[in-house]
Structure 1
């Protein structure tokens, strides 16, 4: 009996040793390609092993399922989309499944986009699950907040990482939360003499600054000009607000008739700022809106090289227009 027990121990050790050796051998050719696969919810260890093999991972599904059970990790395998890299071993594969190291996707929301462009980019991304496709803008926003009824400007432009197959709602939620955080941080550091009553007012200004210049170095001056106009009761007269108000009617050119056509966003016909932001402002524009440059300038005109000429009176401005525009 003692001899049989010893024999069984030796066999068990040999099996365990073989299992350890097998678990550390590459199952994907080190010079091969990344293999993508998905584990569906509720698959269990056997189902997961079968799905991995069916996706092209060269591993015996029965052997892998047995290995996962004997390791004590079989019940901790997480459903999701994965990528197995060249040179991966059964041990590494199991680690990925247990830790939930899902395949990563990314989506970049560009500074200056409007919300329609953001929605389109999210709708076009093939790595997302499109749970919001049937929702209107108002319905989508209602899932995030009850404070606002218009989504424009409420989402921070940035690059967002997510697991392949994640709900598109995750992107909206992340971008909304990040904008709220960045806006509140900037608001807490604002110049208290500014004519803004709420952080939302400052967000509107930041969106105008975002669309008025691509030069980060000039955003403080542009914000300073618009703040000066607000303080003196002048019309803002900024073309990007007119363009936003035109919607799909805008075809790349603003005519004099467009400047005279009244809309809630036409700052040539209405005093003050438009009712909502007109774009998604980035960090530089938020900072400029909260702490604009101290300047006496009331006007600016594009020089044609990406920079602007700033003027404190109409006469100087008209001269600059003649020089750079006419």
Structure 2
């Protein structure tokens, strides 16, 4: 046999199959570790999360091909108008849901320490409608792909395997219902992991802060948890709609929709976070320049 580039490789058929698998594993592992290293460098010396930025670049790279594949479809003009309107509306909804927050007012009492007065200010706790981001969709889709994968490899050409492949295949109503329920479940589950109302309430109590009309401590934690549970539901339903949107479009319009909602949710989320961090860096630099100018004038 001869490898790519003209280098002869003398192996038997069995050895060749084993070497191909071994080289594939080594290549994928090495590439993954290298990308993790690049991501850490971007996080340390760049702007934003490096791993998220690499995923963002990968999603952008797939857009031209997806648009070209969708444009090759032979459909009436009104189908394309409906499709473009759905895409524009979805993008606007993604930006709105990603930026939407519920602000809980917090007040800090005045404290006299020596001759100075501290506190006496009002602020707020921003709670996002979509605190979990795109993670619930990834978890749910990964979990839903497990039965079909096992059926293809462990139960080929059997009734049970065929039943699992058909009923839990992409586009089947049972698959869509289970996927939507799993997304809602993981949205609540992941939000409870990344956001702890009890710790927030304890920190507020330690600093003397309180929510108007709510007692500090356990009552504050219960109130924050109640508000967070209420606003997580519309965010979770929105994630389920985004994940199931390609299947609905294919079923209603008869279009093989290559533009996945999850991909564009990642693009919108990472882009907005990067823009916010760039604005924060520019604001900090402007403050640093103002402070330096004040120091120079003071010396003069």
TM-score bracket for this pair, using the shorter chain length: under 0.3
Give the TM-score normalised by the residue count of structure 2: 0.26
Determine which structure has greater relative contact order: mean sequence separation of CA pairs < 8 Å that are 6+ residues apart, divided by chain length: 2
Which structure shows the higher helix fraction?
A: 2
Give the TM-score normalised by the residue count of structure 1: 0.25
Which protein is bigger by CA-based radius of gyration?
Answer: 1
